Amino acid sequence: MVTGGSRGIGAAVTRAAHARGYAVCVAYSSDDAAADRLRSDLPGVVTVRADVADPASAVALFDAAEEAFGPVTALVNSAGVTGRLGRFVDASVATLRRVLEVNVLGTMLCAQEAVRRWEVRGTAGRIVNVSSTAATLGSPGEYVHYAAGKAAVETFTLGLAKEVAAQGIRVNGVAPGTVHTGIHAAAGDPGRPERVVARVPMGRIGEPEEIAAAVLWLLSDEASYVTGAVLRVGGGL
Ligand code: NAP
């Protein structure tokens, strides 16, 4: 299950997982055309339109995946939004609420549903939550509320990992730096990657495939002793 799997980093995760033989169910919120393109590019991938911030969505998503493929074995929480770039004092209550509900509550609800189902079946499972280097940089003048939410995602990753480790469930995170996706245009600044590239020690912006590689490694048996970790993939950021 890949939330936000229709575009950007999530779509790269979907493509990489599909190439490795995973049956992939993707959740997306509104862009039907992107979901259609993904399905025609990757035969067998199932897409479900659902808002992860809606408490009813997680059950519906896991039901849809189970109906298509059987029990979900791995969850990647990539669905995320930033709200418009700007100073924190100018952010509306609606923006604060939406960013926290999608990025934090949505991640928690999907993880909760996954763990509940694994516990009922007595099976192992793997979760990777997509955080951001913003969680430890703070993103002043851009989206402090988003950065704070990603810090919550990282603490949630650590705590849940410890809570379910003995059940064979691994929970990890990946914290990307700035990556070429549509999220910057959605934040109101399509040129943001070029604007911030000078801050990146490696001197370039990341590609979604470079984040997906880290996610797929954390899902794999090669990471069998890794849980509660957040892997920074930010070119040195
Ligand atoms: P993106 O290109 O804008 O794609 C976002 C994806 O999430 C889309 O598939 C979108 O579906 C889906 N989505 C958004 N809100 C949703 C909701 N409420 N319910 C279900 N699906 C929802 O973003 P991205 O850059 O790939 O970001 C993916 C993750 O990486 C996010 O968590 C983001 O915070 C994190 N991240 C990104 C960067 C970066 O520079 N790109 C850096 C650090 C961290 P629709 O298309 O249907 O809306």
pLDDT of residue 100: 98
Domain containing 199 — which CATH number? 3.40.50.720
Q: What is the DSSP letter of 222?
A: G
Q: Can you tell me the mean pLDDT for 49-61?
A: 98
Is the distance from the beta carbon of residue 9 to the nearest atom of ligand 1 less than 6 Å? yes
| Domains in the chain, number | 1
* Confidence at 48, pLDDT banded by 50, 70, 90: very high
Q: Can you tell me the mean pLDDT for 1-13?
A: 98
Cβ neighbours for 1, distance < 8 A, ≥ 6 positions apart: 24, 25, 26, 27, 61, 62, 65, 72, 74, 75, 76, 110, 114
Q: Can you tell me the mean pLDDT for 131-154?
A: 98
Q: Can you tell me the mean pLDDT for 48-61?
A: 98
Task: State in Å: Cα 161 to ligand 1 middle.
Answer: 23
pLDDT of residue 73: 98
pLDDT, tens digit, 9 for 90 and up, residues 72-113: 999 999 999 999 999 999 999 999 999 999 999 999 999 999
* Confidence at 41, pLDDT banded by 50, 70, 90: very high
Q: What is the mean pLDDT of the chain?
A: 98
* Confidence at 197, pLDDT banded by 50, 70, 90: very high
Residues carrying an active site annotation: 146
pLDDT of residue 74: 98
Is the distance from the beta carbon of residue 83 to the nearest atom of ligand 1 less than 6 Å? no
pLDDT, tens digit, 9 for 90 and up, residues 103-130: 999 999 999 999 999 999 999 999 999 9
Q: Can you tell me the mean pLDDT for 21-45?
A: 98
Task: State in Å: Cα 70 to ligand 1 middle.
Answer: 26
Is the distance from the beta carbon of residue 79 to the nearest atom of ligand 1 less than 6 Å? yes
Alpha-carbon gap, residue 93 to 112, rounded angstroms:
26
Domain that holds residue 6: 2-233
Alpha-carbon gap, residue 78 to 2, rounded angstroms:
7
pLDDT, tens digit, 9 for 90 and up, residues 159-190: 999 999 999 999 999 999 999 999 999 999 99
Residue percentage of the chain with pLDDT more than 70: 100
- Give just the sign of the alpha carbon dihedral 37, 71, 115, 73: negative
pTM over 0.95: yes
